[in-house]
Amino acid sequence: MRHALIIGIILVLSLSACSQGEENPPKWWKGNLHTHSLWSDGDDYPEMIIDWYKEQGYHFLSLSDHNILSEGDRWIDTTRNNSGTRAYTAYVDRFGEDWVETRMDSSGYQVRLKTLNEFRPEFEEEGAFLLIQSEEISDGFDGKPIHINATNVQELIEPQQGGTLREVIQNNVDAVLDQRERLGIKMFPHINHPNFGWAITAEDLISLMGEQFFEVYNGHPAVNNYGDENRPGLEQMWDIITTRRIIQGRPIMYGMAVDDSHNYHEVAIERANSGRAWVMVKSDSLTVTGLIDAMERGDFYGSTGVELVDVKVSNRRIAIEIKEDEGMTYETHFIGTRVNHDSTSTAVEHEGSYVTRSYSPGIGEIMAVVEGNNPVYEFTGDELYVRAKVISSKLKVNPYREGETEVAWTQPVVP
Ligand SMILES: [Zn+2]
Ligand SMILES: [Zn+2]
C-alpha cells in the first residue's frame, strides 16, 4: 500500500517534471486581423461572423470596427441596418431566441448588439480559438482616408487628427504605442490599405516612425492593391519602403494580408467578403502575447491560399517548404534589392498632387524564380534584402480580382 503510494507520488512528480521540461513546438496559427460587423459598417452580427471564421478553421480573429469597440449598450433596428432583416433572421436561427435580445420602442423592433465580453466565452477555446480586441482607427486628411488598425487595443482610441497627412498617420500610430506603454500590454498599430483613396504613398510609410506593419494585400474590392498606371501597387511600395529603410538604417515593415470583410450575405468579387486573405503566425502558443511577439519578430506570412509547412532563414539562405495541394504547382519569386542598385528616383505628379515617386527597376527585382515545393534562395552577399512570393497554379475562389491565383508572401530577410 505504502509502496504503491510512493510509486504513485514518484510517477506524478516525474510526469509533471516531464511536462514542464517539454517545450511546445511552435505551430502555425491562422487568423484574420481586419473584420467589420454591425458594430460599424459590416452587415452581420459579430457572433455570426466569428462562427464562420471558427468553422473555417481559423485560430484567431479580430473584429476591427471603425472607431468603436464592441462594448457598451448598443441597440440597432432589426430591419433598418446594413443588411435589413436578412441578417437578423439568420442570427435568430443560429443562436436562438434565448440568446438574441430584442425590444420594441417607438421607432420599431430593436436588437441589442452583444459585447465582446459577452460573446468571447461562447467561442474561445484554449489552444484552438482566440478573439483579439481591435479597432480600425478611421481618420483622414484633406479628404483622404487614413485608417490604422490597433490590434489588442484595450481602450478606444479616437482619431487623433493632425496638421499634415503624415502627422495624422504618425499621431494615430503614436496613440496606439502610447497606450501600449501606459498599460504595459502588448498591442500594435498596422497601416490599412495604403492605396484606398490613393491616400498614402511609399514615402509617407518610409518616414513613419514606430510602425512595423502594413497591409500588402486587403480583400476589400475598393483598395487598389495592384495600383494603376500612375501609382504603384502595394508589393512595389513594400520594396521601395524596405529598400529605403534599410539604407536609412531603420527597421523594415512587415506585410500582412487581411480580409477587411464587410459583406456576409452575398458572395461576389465586388463585395468585401471573408476568406480572401489572412496571416499565418508561427508561435509556440495561441495567446495574444505569443502571437504579437511572433509577428514582431517577423515570424508570419500573408496568404490568399498557399500554405507553407516552414520558412527557414539563416544568414546563408531562405528555405521554404510548401504544403502540397493535389495537382497544383508552385513558382516562388525571390524578390529584393541589391546593394549596388540605382537609388535615384523622380517625383511623380498626378491630378495635381504628388504620388509615390518613380524608382529604378532594381528596387524589388526578381532575383530568382524557383519551381517546386521546396524553393531555396542562397544569398550571394550583394542583397540588401530578399523576400519570397510563392505563387500557386490554383485559381483563387472568390478573389479580390478576376484571375488571381493563390499566393503567400513571406517577410523580407536582411542578410
Ligand atoms: Zn479601412
Ligand atoms: Zn476596414
Taking the centre of ligand 1 as the mean of its atom positions, its distance from the CA of residue 298, in whole angstroms, is 23
Predicted confidence at residue 252, as pLDDT, reads 98
Taking the centre of ligand 2 as the mean of its atom positions, its distance from the CA of residue 152, in whole angstroms, is 16
Domain assignment present for residue 198? The answer is yes
In order of 60, 210, 336, the CA distances from 39 in angstroms are 19, 29, 41
Q: Which ligand ends up closest to the CA of 195?
A: 1
360 close to 343: Cβ distance less than 8 angstroms: yes
Q: Which ligand ends up closest to the CA of 200?
A: 1
pLDDT in tens, the chain (415 residues): 445 444 444 444 444 444 444 567 899 999 999 999 999 999 999 999 999 999 999 999 999 999 999 999 999 999 887 888 899 999 999 999 999 999 998 888 999 999 999 999 999 999 999 999 999 999 999 999 999 999 999 999 999 999 999 999 999 999 999 999 999 999 999 999 999 999 999 999 999 999 999 999 999 999 999 999 999 999 999 999 999 999 999 999 999 999 999 999 999 999 999 999 999 999 999 999 999 999 999 999 999 999 999 999 999 999 999 999 999 999 999 999 999 999 999 999 999 999 999 999 999 999 999 999 999 999 999 999 999 999 999 999 999 999 999 999 999 999 9
Q: DSSP H helical segments within 160-287, as ranges?
A: 165-183, 202-207, 234-247
Listed residue (149, 221, 216, 160) closest to 409, CA to CA: 216
Identity of residue 151: T
Taking the centre of ligand 1 as the mean of its atom positions, its distance from the CA of residue 136, in whole angstroms, is 7
Domain assignment present for residue 169? The answer is yes
Domain assignment present for residue 106? The answer is no
Q: Which ligand ends up closest to the CA of 258?
A: 2
Q: Which ligand ends up closest to the CA of 260?
A: 2
Listed residue (234, 231, 227, 283) closest to 257, CA to CA: 234
Q: Which ligand ends up closest to the CA of 40?
A: 2
Q: Which ligand ends up closest to the CA of 62?
A: 2
Taking the centre of ligand 1 as the mean of its atom positions, its distance from the CA of residue 344, in whole angstroms, is 32
Q: Which ligand ends up closest to the CA of 36?
A: 2
Task: Mark residue 5 as left, alpha or beta (left: phi above 0; alpha: psi -120 to 50; beta: remaining).
Answer: alpha
> In this structure, what are the phi and psi dihedrals at residue 50, rounded to the nearest 5 degrees?
-60, -40
Domain assignment present for residue 46? The answer is yes
Name the 3-class secondary structure at 91.
helix
Cell of 11: 510517477
d(CA 239, CA 241): 5
Domain assignment present for residue 356? The answer is yes
Taking the centre of ligand 1 as the mean of its atom positions, its distance from the CA of residue 374, in whole angstroms, is 36
Taking the centre of ligand 2 as the mean of its atom positions, its distance from the CA of residue 261, in whole angstroms, is 7
* Residue 184, domain extent: 23-74+113-410
Number of domains in the chain: 1
Taking the centre of ligand 2 as the mean of its atom positions, its distance from the CA of residue 336, in whole angstroms, is 29
Predicted confidence at residue 22, as pLDDT, reads 52
CA angle 19, 186, 202 (to 5 degrees): 125
Predicted confidence at residue 81, as pLDDT, reads 77
Taking the centre of ligand 1 as the mean of its atom positions, its distance from the CA of residue 217, in whole angstroms, is 12
> What sign has the CA pseudo-torsion 355, 356, 359, 361?
negative
Q: Which ligand ends up closest to the CA of 199?
A: 1
d(CA 186, CA 192): 19
Taking the centre of ligand 1 as the mean of its atom positions, its distance from the CA of residue 291, in whole angstroms, is 23
Domain assignment present for residue 3? The answer is no
Domain assignment present for residue 328? The answer is yes
Q: Work out the end-to-end distance of the chain between its first and last CA atoms, rounded to an integer number of angstroms.
A: 63
Taking the centre of ligand 2 as the mean of its atom positions, its distance from the CA of residue 260, in whole angstroms, is 5
User: Which helix (H) or strand (E) covers residue 61, if one does?
Assistant: strand 60-66
CATH of the domain at 173: 3.20.20.140
Q: DSSP H helical segments within 71-141, as ranges?
A: 85-95, 116-123
Domain assignment present for residue 150? The answer is yes
> In this structure, what are the phi and psi dihedrals at residue 27, rounded to the nearest 5 degrees?
-125, 165
Cell of 103: 425590444
Predicted confidence at residue 239, as pLDDT, reads 98
d(CA 59, CA 306): 17
Largest CA distance in the chain: 90
In order of 12, 14, 333, 334, the CA distances from 367 in angstroms are 56, 52, 7, 6
Taking the centre of ligand 1 as the mean of its atom positions, its distance from the CA of residue 60, in whole angstroms, is 20
Predicted confidence at residue 23, as pLDDT, reads 66
